[in-house]
Amino acid sequence: MNVPSYSSDDAPVPTGMVVIERAITPLDLGPKFNRTAADVVRFMMQQGEMVTATQSLSDELIEAFAKDLDAEVKLVDPGEEQEVELRKMLGFEDEDDASEDDAPIRPPVITVMGHVDHGKTKLLDNIRRANVVEGEAGGITQHIGAYQTVRGGNTLTFIDTPGHEAFTAMRSRGAQATDIVILVVAADDGMMPQTIEALNHAKAANVPIVVAINKIDRENANVNRVMTQLAEHELIPESFGGDTIVQEISALQGIGIDDLLDQLVVVAELEDLRADPNERAQGVVLESNLDIGRGPVATVLVQEGTLRVGDPMVSGAAWGRVRALINDKGENVKEAAPSTPVQVLGLSDVAEAGDDFVIAPSEKVASKVADTREHWHRQSSLGRDSSATSGGARLEDIFEQIQRGEAANLNLIIKADVNGSLEAVTDSLRKLETPEVKPIFVHRGVGGITENDIALAAASNATIIGFNVRPDRKARETAESENVEIRTYEIIYKLLEDIESAMVGMLAPEFEEIVTGDAEVREIFTVPKIGKIAGCYVQNGVITRNSKVRFIREGTIIWKGEVKSLRRFKEDAREVAAGYECGIGLSDFQDLKDGDTIETYEEREIERSIS
């Protein structure tokens, strides 16, 4: 057996699984095994790999080093090592070994997806007999909502995901937290881009898909066309010989709703969904917001165990003892079993939508985990935040930056009513970035626009964007005195249009060259005190006096300038069209030869757009 010649041979190797982040350096890898960076570098050299102490290592080299020490390693992506350790602290290190075969059956979590205005919210409205659409700006659902209903003694949990393409991340999160997807397609509209996008999220989640063809009561409804489109996207309806359940409905008229619910009950039975209600609760945060009277409020979906009032809960950097649980009907409840959505009160801060939540063994552990996460998040974002605030520029400086070849920054402070909206707006604005202009998020937060936001905007030369929030009177007065611009929106379409227009206005002008004419040099004349004049025949287009010109010889541009003079016989001419002869004098160019080509062109500004 070959024994490695480490300088720290006597140091004990840690027992158990050692969590290592990928691309770690020898400087950081050595201490994980009670070794020095020199020990790691020496081992790598013995393997024929010349590495330095600060060079990133491949997965293979890390595993080879661990194997040589008879140690077990678990490789995780950068930033995940801390989370693995925190999960151990919370007591969930063995959770993957737990078997659910003997656990009780739980209700299915059903996500409603589809294109905007295809009737998803109206369908839920019909199911739970509550009007949601009227409360949404523009008739578009812009938050995630979770609701429960009972069909034939079976409880069904529904998650309504927004349909606008800007809420891709929210829709994706809905698919990952779901057991069954209802894909709503309008019979009069067919499969649209967002329908296909939602379908892809559902496929990625690897869950059963039930198609609800809505608006069958419309005069121009074409169910067969929708069926064909579904088949083209590998959703073969049962009527076509496939296994995809397709139910025709009218959410407006209430047609086919009961049949759809019956189909969902059957699919849930086949899926055999189970969860142990006696375990410590864990799940996912669907939505969160800051309520003036109640403080931070998180809408969560319990996935394992039972969440109870008084439990010490931690989600991301937010923690606290559960002070109250409110169900989808607005009632206070003492506990929430698996697959139950509830609002949680009592957290220290607004939880991030999409974060997992767990119940900690104690408040002390919950507080420590949350504090550690906050510390690491702050450390990881420190460099990014400092560059964001220091890179700002006033609008009048934008064009100077572009002319110097630098990227111009559009500084923004984003405030939204809930975290889901904040995330959607941020992701949409990031997509507008170009090499010349990029949005810099000086600050993003949930809640109304405050005087602190105004002060930050004034200090960082930022524009404040409010989505479903507004400034109070003092904030407005401060904004006026500090000359800070505040823009508020309720519809995300308009927000993106305005920001895109602002960014387009900041882009450097872009020009395209339009060839206006070309002429062949056939004879050279020498005029005293003027120089050489090219006797030309205009072959295409129009040669215009003072137009920009390229002088081409054997396909190569040898000079660029302007037409200094243009004559037709002995008279000055403003322009000469194709098929006519003329004399052309060029500015600062005398190297004329027979057979050369004079090509005139003009530069036209192209209307810029964010692509």
pLDDT in tens, 476-500: 888 888 888 888 888 888 888 887 7
Q: In angstroms, rounded to a whole number, what is the distance separating the alpha carbons of residues 237 and 210?
A: 10
The Cα–Cα gap between 322 and 309 comes to 5
Query: What are residue 542's DSSP bridge partners?
Result: 577
Burial class (CB in 10 A: 0-12, 13-18, 19+), 481: exposed
In this structure, of 251-260, 380-389, 572-581, the range with the lowest mean pLDDT score is 380-389
What's the average model confidence in pLDDT over 400-427? 75
pLDDT at position 138: 57
- Mean pLDDT (whole number) for 437-454: 83
CA dihedral for 182, 187, 193, 194, sign (positive or negative)? negative
Confidence of residue 371 (pLDDT cuts 50, 70, 90): confident
Parallel, antiparallel or unpaired: strands 510-527 and 597-606: antiparallel
Q: Give kind and range of the element (H or E) at residue 128.
A: helix 120-128
Judged by average pLDDT, the poorest of 128-137, 233-242, 393-402, 526-535 is: 393-402
Structural domains in the chain, sorted by start: 17-78 (no CATH), 109-271 (3.40.50.300), 282-362 (2.40.30.10), 391-506 (3.40.50.10050), 510-606 (2.40.30.10)
Alpha carbons 143 and 121: distance in angstroms, whole number = 11
Total count of residues recorded for the chain: 611
| Cα distance between residue 239 and residue 432, in whole Å | 43
595 class by beta-carbon count within 10 Å (0-12 exposed, 13-18 middle, 19+ buried): exposed
399 has a pLDDT exceeding 50: no
Tell me: the pLDDT tens digits for 293-311? Answer: 889 999 999 999 999 999 9
Q: Does the pLDDT of residue 154 top 80, yes or no?
A: yes
Query: How much is the average pLDDT of 412-416?
Result: 89
* Kind of pairing between the strands at 356-359 and 282-291: antiparallel
pLDDT at 153 over 60: yes
What value does the mean pLDDT take over residues 152-157?
A: 90
For residues 492 and 500, the answer to whether their CB atoms sit within 8 Å is no
Separation CA 249–CA 210 (nearest Å):
12
395 or 100, higher pLDDT: 100
pLDDT at residue number 134: 52
Instruction: Answer yes or no: is pLDDT of 529 > 60.
Output: yes
Question: Which of 304, 290, 316, 232 has the alpha carbon at shortest distance from 447?
Answer: 290
Q: Is the pLDDT of residue 183 over 60?
A: yes
Instruction: Check residue 393 and give its pLDDT.
Output: 34
In the numeric block, which tokens belong to residue 280? 């410590």
- pLDDT value of position 130: 47
CA angle, residues 453, 456, 460, in degrees to nearest 5: 140
**Tens of pLDDT, residues 84-125:** 666 666 766 544 444 566 789 999 999 888 887 788 888 888
Quote the mean pLDDT of the chain. Answer: 80
Question: CA 128, CA 155: separation in Å to the nearest integer?
Answer: 12
What is the predicted pLDDT for the residue at 57? Answer: 87
**Predicted pLDDT at 2:** 43
Please say if the pLDDT value at position 395 is more than 50.
Answer: no
Place of tokens 């076509």: 240
Residue 505: per-residue pLDDT: 65
Q: Of the ranges 237-251, 312-326, 411-425, 584-598, which one carries the lowest mean pLDDT score? A: 584-598
- Least confident stretch, 93-102, 115-124, 170-179, 423-432: 93-102
Split at pLDDT 50, 70, 90, the class of 186 is very high
Cα torsion for 341, 345, 348, 351, to the nearest 10°? Answer: 20
CB 111 within 8 A of CB 178: yes
Q: CA nearest 123: which of 231, 257, 22?
A: 257
- In tens, the pLDDT along 24-37 reads 889 889 888 888 98
Residue 82 pLDDT grade (very low, low, confident, very high; cuts 50, 70, 90): low
- Retrieve residue 459's tokens: 């200090």
**For the ranges 69-83, 353-367, 383-397, which has the lowest average pLDDT?**
383-397
Residue 602, both tokens? 């003009």
pLDDT at 377 over 70: no
**Among candidate residues 556, 542, 543, the one with its CA nearest the CA of residue 586:** 543
Sheet of strand 145-151: strand arrangement: 145-151, 154-160, 109-114, 180-186, 209-214, 245-248
Q: What is the dihedral of CA 22, 26, 28, 34, to 10 degrees?
A: 120
- Closest CA relative to residue 577, chosen from 516, 530, 527: 516
Q: Which of 53-67, 342-356, 407-421 has the lowest mean pLDDT?
A: 407-421
Task: Provide the residue type at 344 as one letter.
Answer: V
Stretch among 99-103, 222-226, 422-426, 451-455 having the lowest mean pLDDT:
99-103
Could you report the per-residue pLDDT of 314-328, keeping only the tens digit for each? 998 899 999 999 988
Angstrom distance (rounded) from CA 19 to CA 34:
14
pLDDT at 5: 42
What was the pLDDT predicted at 385?
Answer: 42
Over range 517-531, report the average pLDDT: 85
pLDDT for the residue 443: 83
pLDDT at position 115 is 80
SS3 label, residue 524: strand
Instruction: Judge whether residue 602 has pLDDT over 90.
Output: no
3-class secondary structure, 310? coil
At 456 the pLDDT is 78
* pLDDT tens-digit readout, 213-268: 999 999 899 999 999 999 988 899 998 888 999 999 998 888 999 999 999 999 99
For residue 390, pLDDT over 50 is answered with no
Q: Check residue 171 and give its pLDDT.
A: 54
